[in-house]
Structure 1
Amino acid sequence: MKVVVFGANGRTGRAVLLTLLAEGHQVTAFARDPAKLPEWPGHDFAKIRGDALNPADVAPAVAGQDAVIVCLGDSSNPVLVRLGMKRSTARNICEAGTANIVDAMQDAGVKRLICVTAYGMADTRRKLSPAFRAWHFAMQLDAQLADKERQERIVRASDLDWTLVRPVGLTDGAFTGRWLASATGERRKRTISRVDLARFIVDTLTGGGNLHEAIVVSGLTIKQAFPND
């Protein structure tokens, strides 16, 4: 399958990229600085330098693909930005970047889209714990989540074969092969490793499931995964 990954230089994007390559897919990595992408011996992939905010960069990256995976995110530290540090990413990167991607997909006739957002969107917001809400407020993350809320609305309004993936807190932990994927907003652990999330995303892509669904993905302990053992 020919797949382009937007946000390929982020930690989630890299995990998705490597998982796709390990399965033999023909992958294109879209990033502002492709020179920073790692090299994996035995795995060749195309690299496109571009800005998701520029439709002229996005359109050729989408043309001819079978599917698109969006892992865009705001890499700016919200606390440091509040203290006056220059932003490293546009405030509306998820909304505006995804709008350009959706437009390019519709123009090119590419239908399959998987878009990574976050737990706490829409109907899952009321499920956030008071402790998380307090931490979220203290870290000034409202703007980032608002951007992802608008991103989700753009995806839902499209006529694409979309899946929204809402992971809980992401870690750089090892692959476990254990997770709960819920279309009703259920979750187990408050975290999941990026490599487990990437495995779920690629399985969803190749399996063709979860169309027009928003899936919360959370980690499982061994006891939760094997309750009868």
Structure 2
Amino acid sequence: MHILILGATGRVGRRILEKALADGHEVTALVRSLDKLTEIHSEALHRLQGDARNREDLYTALNGAELVISCLGTDGGTVLTEFTPLLIEAMKTHGVSRIVSVGTAGILQSREHPGLLRYEAPDSRRSRARAAEEHRKAWEQLAASGLSWTVVCPTYLPDGEPQGQYRAERDYLPEGGMSISVGDTAAFTYRVALEGEYVGCRVGIAY
């Protein structure tokens, strides 16, 4: 399969990239700096320098792709809400229907406060609200796109190798979940993307 990975040099994206190449997939990585991929030696990796917020770069990156995995973060600004409509447009033009993105547990439903998202709840940390709002807008854009989408929503994300023992739940964070490693988040996101699980929903993951 030919996979386009956005955010391939980040903590989660890098692990997905390495796993996809190890499994024999063809991968295009759209990155701002090619220097961050110089140590990866694979003929199956197509390195493309560009910006996900640039329409032409996205159209080029999607050429031949069958699946999109996005691990882009907010970058402290409006990256997600700028690039998501462009990505949706480019995917439809290229006939690519499946996208899995990594979001945040803040945009899952609150158990304690029905009708609110976790980041909207009175006891949530205000310092994270801006990033969560950006993730929310991107999720809503995907939900209205008609694409086959999934948003993976990890909670606290420390570095660490995959343990393989975690819980996943549609639209909610598994009860009592406090953390999920980068390794398990990458493994779960990759599996969901390839196997077509959790289509049309957010999915919370935690130990």
> TM-score by structure 2 length?
0.88
Query: In structure 2, do the counterparts of structure 1 residues 122 and 179 end up closer, same or farther at CA, with 3 Å as the change threshold?
Result: closer
Identify the residue that residue 208 of structure 1 maps to in structure 2. 196
What is the aligned-residue RMSD (CA, Å)?
2.2
Task: Supply the AA of the counterpart residue of 2:46.
Answer: A
Structure 2: any 5+ residue segments left out of the alignment?
A: 111-115
CA distance in 2, matches of 1:201, 1:166: 10
Q: Residues 131 and 212 from structure 1, CA distance in 2 versus in 1: closer, same or farther, beyond 3 angstroms?
A: closer
2:79 alignment partner in structure 1: 93
Cα pair 2:119 2:129 within 8 Å, conserved: no
Contact 2:119 2:132 in 1 (8 A): no
**Contact between 1:9 and 1:34, CA under 8 Å: does it hold in 2?**
no
Q: Contact 1:66–1:112 (CA<8 Å) still a contact in 2? A: yes
Tell me the CA shift for residue 15 of structure 1: 1.6
Residue 164 of structure 2 corresponds to: 177
Q: 1:40: how far off?
A: 3.6
**Structure 2 counterpart of 1:117:** 103
Q: Structure 2: how far apart are the matches of 1:126 and 1:17?
A: 31
The equivalent of 1:24 in structure 2 is: 24
Sort the Cα spacing of 1:153 and 1:31 in 2 relative to 1 into closer, same or farther, 3 A.
same
User: Runs of 5+ in structure 1 lacking a partner?
Assistant: 77-90, 220-229
Q: Deviations over 1:155-209 (max 9, x none)?
A: 0001111111111111111220111111141424311111111111111122122
Matched, 1:195 2:202: no
In structure 2, relative to structure 1, the CA distance for the partners of 1:53 and 1:130 (3 Å cut) is closer
**Counterpart secondary structure, 1:171:** coil
Q: Does 1:154 align with 2:132?
A: no
Structure 1 residue 45 displacement after superposition: 1.1
SS in 1 for 2:21: helix
Q: 2:3·2:69 contact (CA, 8 Å) conserved in 1? A: yes
After superposition, the Cα gap between the structure-2 partners of 1:184 and 1:159, relative to the gap in structure 1 and judged at 3 Å, is closer
SS in 1 for 2:109: helix
**1:39 CA drift (Å):** 2.2
**Residues 107 and 119, structure 2, Cα contact 8 Å, conserved in 1:** no
- Judged with a 3 Å threshold, the aligned counterparts in structure 2 of structure 1 residues 6 and 13 are, in CA distance, closer, same or farther, namely same
The letter for the 1-side match of 2:106 is: G
Instruction: Name the count of aligned residue pairs.
Output: 201
Q: Spell out structure 1 runs of 4+ moving beyond 4 A.
A: 41-44, 125-132
CA contact (8 A) 1:105 1:111 kept: yes
Partner of 2:113: none
Q: Amino acid of the residue matched to residue 92 of structure 1?
A: T
How high is the sequence identity, in percent, across the aligned residues? Answer: 28
Alignment partner, residue 45 of structure 1: 45
Determine if contact 1:58/1:104 at 8 Å carries over to the other structure: yes
TM-score normalized by the length of structure 1: 0.80
Please give the secondary structure, in 1, of the residue aligned with 2:198.
Answer: coil
**One-letter amino acid matched to 2:206:** S
